[in-house]
Structure 1
Amino acid sequence: MRTYEIPPDFSDVELPEKPKLKFMEKVPNLKQAKKEMKRLRDIQGPSRTATKFSQGQYGILALGGGFLHWGHIEMMRLTINRSIDPCSMFAVWRFQPPHKPITRKSLGQRMGGGKGAIDHYVTPIKCGRLVLEMGGQLELVQVEAMLKQVAKKLPFPAKVVSRESLALMYKEHAERVSNNQNPWSFQKIVRSNMLGIRKVLSPLDVHNHGRYTGKFFDPSRV
């Protein structure tokens, strides 16, 4: 006699009025466009926002920092909107439209003469931020291949997560920190300034205990 798994209950799932990903403008609507410095700190370290699910059950989690161009946003929007079933699925963005100006000098122009003109706009993404969410009356098997295809094309390492896997990841990290048996942790070595290590570390390395090196993330560091 065969035994079948009980299908999940989606009675509490509410679909939004517009289930597909919204179109994002390539250029922000500003009265006067202002140039900015590089500010690479916008993609360094851990994200403080959009680290937990708000509406959906599945999504794409950034495992490093980087800049999302408008082409990446359109790639995600077209790939997901073509495969989504609006009657039972929905998808939402978890980041702002491109707003950070990137300047560039024209080809063949000599150096000097001030900062170049604004060429395009990007959205900075930090490690640990959810890029998008998907939800509705669906299981991970239905959207996993599509989300993996999108995650591979992003300009930073990313992976597909669910509510359960994301909570488990945070729980495992907390357990590793609390159950760490190694007395020579990165934090203790830096505080004691062993071998004068502080002179080669940035304030960001000290604050994040060496887990984030620039835009890169080291999950093995406790």
Structure 2
Amino acid sequence: MDAKELLDGMSVYSRLREAILSGRLSAGARLVSQRLAGEFGVSRTPVKEALARLEGEGLVVREGNWGYNVRTISLRDAEEIFEARLVIEVASAERAAQRATDDEARAMSRLLRSCHQHLRSENLVEFQHTSRAIHELITQATGNSQLIRMFRQVNDLVILFGISLLRANPYRAQDILKENEAIVEAIQRRDSNEAVRLMRLHIEKGHSSFRQTAASIRPAISLF
């Protein structure tokens, strides 16, 4: 691949990834390299490279010989994601309460204020992304590169189905905000035990809400 194709591939990758994680490309959407090459005005080679990279990240899956689909999150996938979050994010909350710098603690507060703004404007996509940014910052505050790597591997999948779930149950957003505020306050007080308790409760409540929403909408949407 020459330099132009490499740059084209990076651009296609970034644009497709943003479209998937913003919900503009919904779960199950077909992604055909020839069609995408025409839409982006590039050759098929950078499109194929971008799709292969997204496949490696778990955001798209190969469908036969003709192309890819945006990944759909099965019930089993979701159960495994919540289980992974309990391992990664509860540990991160404990370490963040012990290690977060004052700058990191202030940055968490700024993100919470952004969440309030997105909720007031009913922008659930940006709310979801900013909420997850708080959790990423909590993990970064641990200073543990392995926790950060594991968080990022899971986080795209959390966003992938989280936006659809919030659209199906927008009332959950207000609870998410309150729970995140309590977690951040515990971290800022350096109360690691409370941060652990609240993070675990937050994830368990999210899991319970997911199960209730899935049971009510499973026949009507393509997520499950």
Q: How high is the TM-score relative to the length of structure 2?
A: 0.24
Asked which structure has the greater CA Rg, the reply is 1
Higher RCO, Cα 8 Å, sep 6+:
1
Q: How high is the TM-score relative to the length of structure 1?
A: 0.24
Which structure features the higher share of strand residues? Answer: 1
